[in-house]
Amino acid sequence: MSPSAALRCLARRLPMVLAVLLLASNAKAAEPTDAQRADFKQAYVAAQQGGDGWRSLASGLRDYPLYPYLEAAALTHDIRQLDRARVEDFLKRNPGLIPASDLRRDFLLELARRQDWDNYLALYQPGINDTLTCYALQAQLSKGTQLDFDRDVSALWAKPKLPSACDPVLSAAHDQGLLTTERLWSRIDRAADANQGGTISAIAGWLPAEDAEAAQRIAMALRDPAGAATAAAQWPDTPRQRQAAMLALERLARKQSIAADAGWQKLQSHFTFTPEQRDRVLYAIALFHATDFDASAIARLTALPASVQTDISREWRVRAALALQDWNAVLAAIDAMPPTQQQDGEWRWFRARALNELGRGAEAQRLLASLAQEPTFFGFLAADRVDAPYAICQSPLNGDPQREQALLANRGLLRAFELFAVDLPRQARREWDQALNGADVETVKLATDLAYRRGWYDRAVFGFNNGDLLRYYEQRFPLVSQDGLVRQSEQAGIDPSWAYAILRAESAWMPDAHSGADARGLMQLLPSTAALVAKRNGLEWAGDDSLYDPATNIALGTRYLAQMAQRFNGAPWLASAAYNAGPGRVDQWLDVRGTLAPDVFIATIPYKETREYVARVMAFSVIYDWRQHGKAVGLSERLTPIGRAYRLPDGQTQRKLVTCPAIVTPAPVTAGTAVAPASGASSEAPARTSSNTH
């Protein structure tokens, strides 16, 4: 290109170049200061107390990205004194903002409490939630409007459970003759499928008397299956009574498979069950005999008709065979799976184990060599078995400062980062989700890496969870020194890599994580447990909310881990199971299956959540060991046989090489399924789930 042509080209591009530079410059200039953040924190505390006292503290924050949160906090506190005009003024000045949406929702609830239906309808927007939808219908009813089932009720009616705000609406629909017997039974069936006995009881009285009795028995089957199964012997053999009896037996099998079996023997001749009902009962009984590891489990599962079999029943056939160490039965059960299920890492591992036990070592080696190419729990076990390096392919994520500054021009993302910086992580996650909704992969990668470098670690755990994104190990498995995990682990006498793995599996690096069982913080400790651990170890205990402080949580969490490890000969895999399901449960499992090899024992843990948790934690331990040392202690060395003392890794411990094979399919680091970002009950119909006991 000639000099003159180059100049003409530059002249044409100059406005675009200047625009990009200006965008980056403006974004950089808009970066809030630590002083603004400190002022916001102080003003936010004042705003949460209501009134206008916060305004003087926020006099220099008018242009601060989080200023609307201050006003919204004050208005929310004073919501019982607000009028519609003040709320609408805030909504008009802050369109589309999360605090504006929240204020609208909260003020609508207040207007409903006042039964100020005119203002409610003026402010209402459809689609927020079922409670507000039903209040809007109540508002319409107050004006004498007649309901239309298709327009007003059908969407709500399709849900098995509704908030109490919908009760007057459903009562009006009944009084207006909209809830026909057919519609009532349709909702009862949906509620029965969703185990919502309360819903059934609430509407049963609207049925004709004979139908109402049957509906209440369906509710009883869900609420008290043992009592219903006993009482069913006196029920008439009608379609709905059969349905109630079938549900009672099906639900009873989940808790007492032997009692369900006895109940079936009595009731199968009393009722003319349909083939589908019969299959449902036999499926449940067979399945839960398997979860109880009953001697008849394999035969029962094998005898189920092919049309009744599910992936769950087929996998429990394998687990029952593993518990008996019947390797022919293990192989037969895996062979009975469809090809896609057989490809799960767990079943490839146990196929290889069965082949090896049956003297077919060459076939086993070929299978293990392939499995060893995957960075999973079973892939690591396979690599140990064939003496191969661990296959972990890491990709670097290089920052782009110019694009990052442009990215921060997204006000929603800037608010997300600011909320995180001022210790409001729940609100930060909401802003993050809204700001990046629909964004392309490259934008999400850029934002996630920026979050990582700002210390917001859980964004990568949630965002980098499939495909090639799994290779960003630095971001997905952060090493955070400022919270003292390595030091606290060493003082507690446990392996830091294991403590990192527990933390990662429990909270996904969310310091404000809070479970339904009231477990809190990074390592998900119950306040009662934390208080006892603090007392036992002479550590300071500042109350329940101190568990949201990372340093406090880690200090107590590592000591509790050490306590669990000590109970189980130091074995981190058994201690992990105890951390998830409770040590008493693990003791029960050891009493009946304590002679099994560790991998087989894990596969026979009755709780799906705990099985996957143990596999996930142990795989994470390998990855964190590699992240710290460049090599990793073998997974098999971490799975010490039951009853044998575990030797803590030290400077003399041999570690395995980690390499990236030329061709490797990225796979989640779990027992063959996608990584769960945090702990919590997994949904699986047959498995009895544990409760968080730590």
Asked, for residue 635, whether it belongs to a domain, the answer is: yes
CA–CA distance, 363 with 345 (Å, rounded to integer): 16
The helix (run of H) or strand (run of E) holding residue 267 is helix 257-267
Has residue 188 got a pLDDT over 80? yes
DSSP 348: H
> To 10 degrees, the CA torsion angle through 43, 45, 47, 53?
-60
- 66 and 10, same structural domain? no
Interval 498-524 mean pLDDT? 97
CA–CA distance, 508 with 457 (Å, rounded to integer): 8
- 449 and 554, same structural domain? no
Q: What pLDDT, in 10s, does the model give residues 628-650? A: 999 999 999 999 999 999 999 98
CATH number at residue 595: 1.10.530.10
Its sign, for the CA torsion 124, 127, 132, 135, is positive
CA–CA distance, 75 with 48 (Å, rounded to integer): 9
Report the SS3 class of residue 523: coil
- Helices 608-629 and 496-507, packing angle to 10 deg: 130
Q: How many CB atoms lie within 10 A of CB 530?
A: 28
Tell me what pLDDT residue 668 has: 47
Q: Are 510 and 680 in contact (CB under 8 A)?
A: no
CA–CA distance, 422 with 40 (Å, rounded to integer): 8
Q: Are 290 and 312 in contact (CB under 8 A)?
A: no
Show which residues are catalytic. Answer: 506
Interval 385-393 mean pLDDT? 97
Closest CA to 120 of 196, 237, 537, 134: 134
Interval 340-366 mean pLDDT? 97
Residue matched to tokens 């059908």: 154
- 456 and 531, same structural domain? no
Has residue 682 got a pLDDT over 60? no
CA–CA distance, 523 with 562 (Å, rounded to integer): 13
Asked, for residue 145, whether it belongs to a domain, the answer is: no
CA–CA distance, 339 with 335 (Å, rounded to integer): 9
Q: How far is CA 84 from CA 80, 111, 128, 132, 560, in A?
A: 11, 9, 18, 16, 52
**Pairing between strand 390-391 and 658-659?**
parallel
CA–CA distance, 510 with 491 (Å, rounded to integer): 24
Asked, for residue 359, whether it belongs to a domain, the answer is: no
CA–CA distance, 631 with 694 (Å, rounded to integer): 31
- 635 and 549, same structural domain? yes
Has residue 673 got a pLDDT over 70? no
- Domain total in the chain: 4
Asked, for residue 617, whether it belongs to a domain, the answer is: yes
- 46 and 18, same structural domain? no
- 609 and 537, same structural domain? yes
- 644 and 500, same structural domain? yes
Distance in Å from the first CA to the final CA of the chain: 71
* 210: confidence class by pLDDT, cuts 50, 70, 90: confident
Closest CA to 107 of 126, 92, 88: 88
Domain coverage including residue 538: 485-659
Tell me what pLDDT residue 1 has: 47
* 344: confidence class by pLDDT, cuts 50, 70, 90: very high
- 421 and 522, same structural domain? no
Q: What pLDDT, in 10s, does the model give residues 553-596? A: 999 999 999 999 999 999 999 999 999 999 999 999 999 999 99
Helical H runs in 440-495? 441-453, 458-463, 473-476, 485-492
Question: How long a stretch of residues is the chain?
Answer: 694
- 558 and 438, same structural domain? no
Mean pLDDT over all residues of the chain? 91
* 678: confidence class by pLDDT, cuts 50, 70, 90: very low
Interval 62-83 mean pLDDT? 97
Tell me what pLDDT residue 400 has: 84
Interval 433-438 mean pLDDT? 96
Q: Are 602 and 611 in contact (CB under 8 A)?
A: yes
CA–CA distance, 288 with 322 (Å, rounded to integer): 16
Asked, for residue 278, whether it belongs to a domain, the answer is: no
- 506 and 441, same structural domain? no
Q: What pLDDT, in 10s, does the model give residues 251-267? A: 999 999 999 999 999 99
Which residues neighbour 86 within 8 Å (Cβ) at sequence distance 6 or greater?
75
Which residues neighbour 397 within 8 Å (Cβ) at sequence distance 6 or greater?
445, 449, 472, 474, 475
Q: How many CB atoms lie within 10 A of CB 631?
A: 16
Tell me what pLDDT residue 694 has: 59
Indicate the residue among 66, 100, 125 that finishes a domain: 125
Residue predicted with more confidence, 398 or 84: 84
Q: What pLDDT, in 10s, does the model give residues 91-107? A: 999 999 999 999 999 99
- 449 and 555, same structural domain? no
Identity of the amino acid at 562: A
CA geometry: angle 187, 192, 195, nearest 5 deg: 125
Interval 266-282 mean pLDDT? 96
Interval 438-452 mean pLDDT? 94
Asked, for residue 165, whether it belongs to a domain, the answer is: no
Exposure string for 199-217, b = 16+ CB within 10 A, e = fewer? bbbbbbebbeeebebbbbb
Interval 122-133 mean pLDDT? 96
- 506 and 406, same structural domain? no
Tell me what pLDDT residue 672 has: 40
Which residues neighbour 155 within 8 Å (Cβ) at sequence distance 6 or greater?
none
Which residues neighbour 628 within 8 Å (Cβ) at sequence distance 6 or greater?
479, 486, 496, 497
Has residue 18 got a pLDDT over 80? no
Phi-psi region of 173 (alpha: psi -120 to 50; beta: other; left: phi over 0): alpha
Tell me what pLDDT residue 167 has: 97
CA atoms within 13 A on the CB side of 245: 27
DSSP 471: G
The helix (run of H) or strand (run of E) holding residue 676 is none
Q: Are 135 and 107 in contact (CB under 8 A)?
A: no
CA–CA distance, 562 with 291 (Å, rounded to integer): 30
Has residue 218 got a pLDDT over 80? yes
CA–CA distance, 560 with 580 (Å, rounded to integer): 12
Tell me what pLDDT residue 198 has: 95
Interval 211-239 mean pLDDT? 97
The helix (run of H) or strand (run of E) holding residue 122 is helix 117-123
Interval 386-405 mean pLDDT? 91
CA–CA distance, 655 with 312 (Å, rounded to integer): 37
CA geometry: angle 631, 637, 638, nearest 5 deg: 90
Q: How far is CA 639 from CA 255, 334, 385, 574, 614, in A?
A: 31, 24, 13, 9, 11
Asked, for residue 200, whether it belongs to a domain, the answer is: no
What percent of the chain lies above the pLDDT cut of 70? 91
Tell me what pLDDT residue 483 has: 78
Asked, for residue 8, whether it belongs to a domain, the answer is: yes
* 449: confidence class by pLDDT, cuts 50, 70, 90: very high
Q: What's phi and psi for 45, nearest 5 deg? A: -60, -45
Q: How many CB atoms lie within 10 A of CB 65?
A: 22
CA–CA distance, 178 with 184 (Å, rounded to integer): 10
Tell me what pLDDT residue 480 has: 85
Report the SS3 class of residue 271: coil
